[in-house]
């Protein structure tokens, strides 16, 4: 039973992290997800007299959150990464094309959504590859898939949440799975290594970056590695373009970057600061790595300073 004497949202505090993860999976933005969690809790508080007790508080909150997200998505474009906009670049010496106006996908720090008891279960459902694919599904397909595959709801429960028949839900799920299978097969990522190999790869990546050591970086990259850098539409794939890009445009001198180990989307991440003209380090962005038993296969660098502040497990400079 809901405690009507509690402050708005306090009674639901145990669910905040998982609701944030759910809204993030739906929208691909931490800021948007945080806003919609607040909207969810406010709606729940205002409509608490409608809570009949025929489902758990958790299920009731997820129903509200899902519909809040669907309403928000009516007015938002899907979030993207550079690889979803076109093929890789072939000139690593060209200046990347900046498009800050596009709705870019954002990383989510693991510390915001996971606790030690759930981090393993949550990791796969938050991986960047899956979040990117989910953004290409129509919103109702996205919602149905998440409620079924992440929360293990029945088709009848999903139908009640979305206002659909069980048959309609099953149709949504069939189309969602078929589309995700297509997207995954087109850009499948190898299975990542277990700890401590993941952390070792991240540590080597950080050292190579801070020392501007392209040779050391090459040693931890797969030959088919790709690099994407929001808010640029330019991205590269393979040693032939990725290494020259790093050597000539990124790792030009030692000491230009400071990087701290963290994790985002259940993957290793480097939270990055860059030295400014006065010699002071300023927030620069977050690099999320896809790791495999044979090295790093993908780097998604979110080059937006505002994202750094969300990584509360990293000391500010």
Q: Which domains does the chain have, with CATH numbers?
A: 13-186 (1.20.140.160), 197-310 (3.10.450.50)
Residues 148 and 173 sit within 8 Å (Cβ to Cβ): yes
Predicted pLDDT of residue 53: 64
Predicted pLDDT of residue 314: 86
Predicted pLDDT of residue 48: 74
Pairing assessment for the beta strands 257-264 and 281-292 based on DSSP bridges: unpaired
Residues 2 and 11 sit within 8 Å (Cβ to Cβ): yes
Q: Which of 213, 217, 212, 210 is nearest to 239 (CA)?
A: 217
Predicted pLDDT of residue 45: 84
pTM of full prediction above 0.85? yes
* Rounded (10°) CA dihedral 164, 166, 168, 174: 130
What's the CA gap between 71 and 69, in Å, rounded?
5
Cβ–Cβ contacts within 10 Å for residue 283, how many?
A: 19
Q: Dihedral sign, CA of 279, 99, 271, 198?
A: negative
Rounded mean pLDDT for each run of 10 residues along the chain, 317 residues in total: 52 86 96 96 82 77 96 94 95 93 96 65 80 95 96 95 96 95 67 70 97 96 97 96 96 95 95 95 96 95 96 84
Predicted pLDDT of residue 1: 44
Tokens of 121: 């279960």
């Amino acid at each position: 039973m809901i405690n009507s004497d509690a402050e708005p949202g306090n009674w639901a505090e145990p669910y905040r992290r998982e609701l944030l993860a759910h809204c993030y999976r739906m929208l691909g933005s931490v800021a948007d997800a945080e806003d919609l969690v607040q909207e969810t809790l406010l709606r729940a508080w205002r409509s608490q007299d409608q809570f009949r007790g025929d489902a758990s508080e958790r299920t009731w909150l997820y129903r509200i959150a899902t519909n809040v997200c669907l309403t928000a998505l009516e007015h938002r474009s899907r979030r993207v990464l550079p690889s979803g906009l076109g093929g890789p670049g072939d000139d690593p010496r060209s200046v990347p094309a900046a498009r800050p106006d596009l709705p870019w996908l954002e990383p989510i720090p693991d510390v915001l959504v996971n606790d030690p008891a759930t981090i393993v279960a949550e990791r796969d459902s938050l991986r960047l590859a899956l979040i990117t694919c989910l953004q290409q599904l129509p919103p109702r397909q996205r919602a149905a898939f998440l409620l079924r595959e992440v929360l293990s709801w029945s088709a009848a429960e999903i139908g009640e949440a979305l206002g659909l028949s069980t048959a309609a839900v099953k149709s949504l799920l069939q189309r969602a799975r078929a589309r995700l299978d297509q997207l995954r097969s087109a850009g499948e990522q190898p299975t990542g290594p277990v700890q401590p190999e993941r952390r070792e790869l991240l540590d080597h990546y950080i050292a190579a970056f801070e020392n501007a050591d392209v040779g050391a970086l090459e040693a931890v990259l797969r030959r088919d590695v790709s690099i994407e850098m929001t808010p640029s539409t330019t991205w590269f794939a393979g040693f032939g373009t990725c290494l020259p890009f790093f050597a000539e445009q990124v790792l030009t001198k030692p000491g230009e970057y400071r990087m701290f180990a963290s994790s985002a989307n259940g993957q290793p991440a480097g939270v990055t600061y860059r030295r400014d003209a006065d010699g002071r380090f300023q927030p620069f962005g977050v690099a999320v790595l896809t790791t495999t038993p044979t090295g790093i296969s993908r780097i998604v660098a979110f080059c937006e300073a505002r994202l750094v502040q969300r990584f509360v497990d990293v000391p500010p400079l």
